[in-house]
């Protein structure tokens, strides 16, 4: 099988993805949409395609991060992609042309995160392990996927390397561990019954307190951002600027929705959901400290889950969690919150690097550590 990788237009890229999304043959990450490249300032986006003769059979959004003052040299990054046949027995025939392409474009290193899962842990399995095992990765899984092992072996044989994911943390640029709620074949009542007692109680408490959920407008992004900055200060992370979320809205269009919870006439919490085909992601969330007692965050999650289910989504993705099950770890709170949804944790094969120019790659690594 001979495959060629070359640059394609955004229209070709979107057309191919539309076909995959319509067929529901696989889940496409929003990070592989051509429009995502418009969100990432400082990165140079490129749509590329795999061709078998004249037929387009795979696509990827490649983001190039130039070295400061040396734009001809860059890191090439394919987040949660590419969109190719990962079940192929000849994975090298897919990835080797990509390596050659980005090298020809001046990349000294290719980083990618195959959208391939390794393991899943049900919520009850995780709950039972808390207090007994400190890391999620050490808990015996409920399901393992042979494709993940096959992809890892192929990546290694091609010369890709992976940093060790030691200890607690999210791992990689994109999270290696995520938490998802299955929706396919489940009624609204069944999904709600799958929540733990605390989540169900909090949703009902928000309803009794008069928390109102609505779909936000572009103008509501400013109110979301104000609450988001408060959340960042409370939780100790650096917030993104308002312009970033405005750019997300403008670039992603119908894939993007803002959900707003109001209490006593003001914004108590707000969240961003991104939906591509049958997959919905909880992307960003923010809440005020003053309104915490009326549980607007749980009300928002329930509203988004219902919206995702009604639109035909098979999975609601709460995105990243850390690898920790240690209650004393500051990252455990996020695990505990998402665990209440009653879904499952999923581990991906993670992100891998292929170095095409060792000197440049080493220099860039030193620059990043210094920065």
Query: How do residues 131-168 score in pLDDT, each as one tens digit?
Result: 999 999 999 999 999 999 999 999 999 999 998 765 55
| Domains 4-113+351-370 and 117-348 alike in fold | yes
Q: What was the pLDDT predicted at 69?
A: 75
Would you tell me how many other CB atoms lie within 10 Å of the CB of residue 371? 6
Q: Is 162 left (phi over 0), alpha (psi -120 to 50) or beta?
A: beta
CATH class for the region spanning 4-113+351-370: alpha beta
Q: What was the pLDDT predicted at 364?
A: 76
- Which has more pLDDT, 363 or 92? 92
Q: What was the pLDDT predicted at 363?
A: 74
Phi, psi angles (nearest 5°) of residue 213: -105, 135
Contact 97, 5 (CB under 8 A): yes
**Looking at domain 117-348, what is its CATH homologous superfamily?**
Gcn5-related N-acetyltransferase (GNAT) (3.40.630.30)
Average pLDDT over residues 233-253: 96
Would you tell me how many other CB atoms lie within 10 Å of the CB of residue 62? 28
CA distance 161 to 158: 9
Closest CA to 332 of 142, 197, 168: 168
Q: Where are the domains of the chain?
A: 4-113+351-370, 117-348
Phi, psi angles (nearest 5°) of residue 158: -80, -10
Average pLDDT over residues 62-89: 92
Cα separation values, 307 from 46, 137, 304, 348, Å: 32, 32, 5, 26
Beta strands of the chain (E only): which ranges? 4-7, 44-52, 55-67, 70-78, 107-112, 117-122, 143-144, 177-182, 212-215, 256-263, 266-276, 279-287, 315-320, 344-348, 352-355
């Amino acid at each position: 099988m001979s495959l060629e990788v070359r640059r394609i237009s955004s229209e070709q890229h979107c057309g191919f993805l539309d076909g995959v999304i319509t067929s529901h043959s696989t889940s496409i990450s929003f990070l592989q949409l051509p429009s995502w490249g418009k969100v990432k300032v400082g990165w140079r986006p490129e749509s590329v395609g795999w061709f078998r003769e004249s037929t387009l059979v795979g696509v990827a959004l490649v983001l190039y991060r130039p070295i400061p003052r040396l734009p001809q040299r860059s890191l090439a990054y394919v987040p949660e992609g590419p969109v190719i046949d990962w079940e192929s027995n000849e994975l090298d025939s897919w990835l080797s042309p990509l390596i050659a392409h980005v090298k020809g474009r001046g990349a000294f290193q290719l980083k990618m995160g195959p959208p391939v899962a390794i393991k899943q842990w049900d919520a009850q399995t995780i709950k039972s392990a808390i207090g007994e095992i400190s890391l999620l990765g050490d808990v015996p899984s409920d399901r393992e996927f042979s494709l993940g092992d096959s992809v890892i072996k192929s990546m290694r044989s091609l010369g890709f390397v992976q940093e060790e994911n030691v200890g607690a943390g999210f791992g990689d640029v994109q999270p290696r561990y995520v938490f998802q709620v299955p929706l396919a074949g489940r009624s609204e009542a069944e999904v709600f019954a799958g929540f733990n007692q605390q989540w169900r109680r909090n949703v009902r408490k928000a309803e009794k307190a008069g928390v109102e959920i609505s779909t936000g407008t572009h103008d509501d992004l400013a109110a979301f951002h104000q609450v988001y900055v408060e959340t960042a200060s409370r939780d100790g992370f650096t917030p993104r600027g308002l312009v970033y979320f405005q750019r997300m809205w403008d670039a992603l269009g119908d894939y993007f929705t803002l959900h707003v919870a109001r209490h006593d006439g003001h914004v108590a919490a707000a969240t961003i959901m991104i939906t591509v085909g049958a997959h919905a992601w909880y992307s960003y969330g923010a809440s005020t400290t003053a309104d915490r007692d009326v549980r607007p965050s749980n009300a928002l999650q329930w509203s988004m889950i219902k919206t995702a289910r009604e639109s035909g989504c098979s999975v609601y993705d709460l995105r990243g969690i850390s690898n920790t099950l240690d209650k004393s770890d500051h990252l455990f709170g996020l695990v505990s919150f998402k665990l209440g949804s009653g879904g499952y944790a999923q581990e991906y094969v993670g992100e891998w690097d292929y170095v095409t120019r060792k000197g440049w790659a080493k220099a860039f690594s030193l620059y990043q550590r210094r920065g």
